[in-house]
């Protein structure tokens, strides 16, 4: 472990200003990802700013009927909240599918969105990795790629985003609220938060240096059957090979639309960010095969992970069957 300094922030604006002004500063809340990376010396912060005491740990109803989730709300508390379970079931299901109970007790809403890839080459300091050391190369390309991305990747990086919660947030059209180092704030649609790797895979989000997530807002509930299916190598404490977050409104069996009136769908485990293509959702009435073909149009799988395309189709088909039932 490399030496570092530590302080507790007095306010969100104070935390953001200090993070921007102190070289090598990082925020820390639950630390479930950051501390692991520090132990491996993948992350080597010179200064840690503890944001746990900022009061960002409540869930409140918004004037338009949605929910405002504080950045420090623990995953366990968010999944168990009666309002989330009743109106945003896809989010509750995605949270319970992630990590272990012990980790969910500590992990935060903002930290979950910002967790870094679980690409094995990123976690191996002996291997070149453009996320870890820009310009060094991507060891995954030409390496073992079974768990890695099939779409949205680039010649510089084929890693996937590991969050289950973020996939559910994407299908719910969440908005991320932040405070900037100058004290100003902004609202970022979840669709715009994560960047595709391009030629700069180490820049993973649109957040500015020092910008602090303070909350995530969910819009008014849209109803429908809300489902999250996660396919992984083992039943617990494993990241998704493919996951499907969906909101589906059955048509009541009155004909047309393959039993579906409308729906939304986002995929996890296949791309560097939660993957949603709104134009594909109009084809849910035609079934999983056509929808998946549009969702993953332009995919660039490797021989190791080409199975993910068919797996995504079959997982979506299972979700649609359950929604109709």
**DSSP string across 194-211:** BPP-TT-TT--BSPPTT-
pLDDT at 230 over 70: yes
**Which 8-state DSSP code applies to residue 255?**
S
pLDDT tens by residue, 259-297? 899 999 999 999 999 999 999 999 999 999 999 999 999
| HEC secondary structure over 114-183 | HCCCCCCCCCCCCCCECCCCCCCCECCCCCCCCCCCCCCCECCECCCCCCCHHHHHHHCCCEEEEECCCC
What pLDDT, on the 0 to 100 scale, is given for residue 128? Answer: 98
Tell me what the pLDDT averaged over the chain comes to.
Answer: 96
- The contacts of residue 307 (CB under 8 Å, 6+ apart) are none
pLDDT at 237 over 90: no
Average pLDDT score over residue span 208-237: 96
Pinpoint the alpha helices (H) of 8-74: 12-21, 34-39
Average pLDDT score over residue span 84-111: 97
Residue 252 pLDDT class (50, 70, 90 cuts): confident
Q: What's the CATH code, domain 225-323?
A: 3.30.390.50
Domain boundaries, the chain: 5-52, 225-323
More confident site: 193 or 259:
193
Tokens matching residue 221? 């509930």
Q: Integer distance in angstroms from the first to the last C-alpha of the chain?
A: 53
What pLDDT, on the 0 to 100 scale, is given for residue 242? Answer: 98
Residue 257 pLDDT class (50, 70, 90 cuts): low
Q: Does domain 5-52 have CATH number 3.30.43.10?
A: yes
Residue 254 pLDDT class (50, 70, 90 cuts): low
What share of the chain has pLDDT > 70, as a percent? Answer: 98
Global model pTM greater than 0.95: yes
What pLDDT, on the 0 to 100 scale, is given for residue 255? Answer: 53
d(CA 160, CA 269): 6
What share of the chain has pLDDT > 90, as a percent? Answer: 95
What pLDDT, on the 0 to 100 scale, is given for residue 253? Answer: 61
């Amino acid at each position: 472990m490399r030496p570092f300094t530590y302080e507790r922030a007095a306010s969100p604006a104070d935390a953001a200003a200090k993070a921007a002004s102190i070289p090598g500063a990082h925020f820390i809340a639950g630390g479930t990802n950051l501390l692991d990376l520090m132990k491996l010396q993948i992350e080597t912060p010179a200064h840690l700013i503890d944001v746990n005491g900022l009061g960002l740990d409540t869930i409140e109803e918004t004037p338009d009927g949605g929910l405002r989730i504080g950045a420090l709300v623990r995953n366990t508390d968010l999944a168990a909240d009666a309002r989330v379970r009743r109106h945003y079931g896809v989010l509750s299901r995605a949270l319970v599918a992630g990590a272990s109970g012990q980790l969910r007790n500590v992990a935060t809403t903002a930290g979950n969105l910002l967790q870094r890839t679980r690409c094995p080459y990123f976690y191996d300091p002996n291997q070149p990795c453009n996320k870890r050391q820009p310009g060094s190369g991507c060891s995954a390309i030409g390496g073992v790629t079974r768990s890695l991305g099939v779409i949205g990747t680039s010649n510089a990086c084929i890693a996937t985003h590991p969050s289950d919660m973020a996939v559910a947030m994407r299908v719910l059209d969440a908005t991320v609220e932040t405070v900037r180092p100058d004290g100003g704030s902004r609202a970022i649609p979840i669709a715009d938060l994560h960047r595709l790797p391009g030629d700069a895979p180490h820049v993973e989000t649109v957040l500015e240096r020092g910008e602090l997530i303070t909350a995530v807002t969910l819009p008014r509930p849209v109803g429908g059957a809300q489902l999250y299916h996660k396919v992984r190598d083992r039943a617990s404490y494993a990241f998704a090979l493919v996951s499907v977050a969906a909101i589906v409104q059955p048509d009541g069996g009155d004909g047309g639309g393959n039993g579906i009136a409308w729906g939304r769908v986002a995929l996890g485990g296949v791309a560097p960010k939660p993957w949603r293509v709104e134009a594909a959702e109009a084809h849910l009435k035609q079934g999983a095969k056509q929808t998946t073909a549009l969702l993953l149009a332009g995919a660039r799988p490797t021989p190791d992970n080409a199975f993910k395309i068919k797996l995504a189709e079959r997982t979506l088909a299972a979700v649609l069957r359950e929604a109709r039932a």
